[in-house]
Amino acid sequence: MIDLYTWTTPNGRKISIALEEMGLPYTVHPVNLQKGEQHSPEFAKISPNEKIPAIVDRDEGITLMESGAILIYLAEKSGKFLPTETRARFEVLQWLMWQMGGFGPMLGQAHQFLKYNPGVSEFAEKRYGDEAKRLYGVLDRRLAESPYVGGAELSIADFATWPWASRFEYQRIDLTAYPNVCRWYHELADRPAFRRGYDVPHFVHEIPRPGCTLVSAPTANSAG
């Protein structure tokens, strides 16, 4: 059994979506960020960086923090959503690292200045707004050539990226400008496991649905 320590954020939803897709049994432990529960001594023993998500795999006696590491661990534990063939595996891993190093942190900054603190810094709003658009452009070009972020098949790279895209409104992103992202976004939002994982640890609202013209997915043979 896996204990999942999480909250209703993009990083938290990465793991609940992955667990639902993989069919691994887990128990949810909400960590209320608004109440500062991530800074409790009890949680710091599990996640020394005092950030969600974190897991404890009671079957293996393994405790992990950092969403990217957790996704890789769960993929290897389940034998799903991370290829074993070298080229395909590292195709997925490079896009997972892209999300961890760019698409997540930069969009998180966009949230701070465009959603929560508008008007505080014109420079920051432009910087992170422009970077959000650039990153969506990278993602759109990728999804023009590949059905999924990591290649021809659904993978942990999609589980990492999609929850951040689900906050496109926070980032002032118009997904009609990124038709390939919109196609991918709607496809994954329609998956029952994504819908279940989105509502962990509790329901907040329905998954946001951008109104955009959907394009066809590229064939698997065209994926890198």
Domains plus CATH for the chain? 2-78 (3.40.30.10), 86-222 (1.20.1050.10)
> If phi over 0 gives left and psi between -120 and 50 gives alpha, with beta otherwise, what is residue 120?
alpha
pLDDT tens, position by position, for the chain (224 residues)? 999 999 999 999 999 999 999 999 999 999 999 999 999 999 999 999 999 999 999 999 999 999 999 999 999 999 999 999 999 999 999 999 999 999 999 999 999 999 999 999 999 999 999 999 999 999 999 999 999 999 999 999 999 999 999 999 999 999 999 999 999 999 999 999 999 999 999 999 999 998 887 788 897 654 54
Residue 32's CB is within 10 A of a number of other CB atoms, namely 12
CA distance 220 to 212: 23
List the 54-57 sheet strands across, edge first.
26-30, 2-6, 54-57, 62-65
For residue 65, the SS3 value is strand
Query: pTM of the entire structure?
Result: 0.95
CA distance 75 to 98: 18
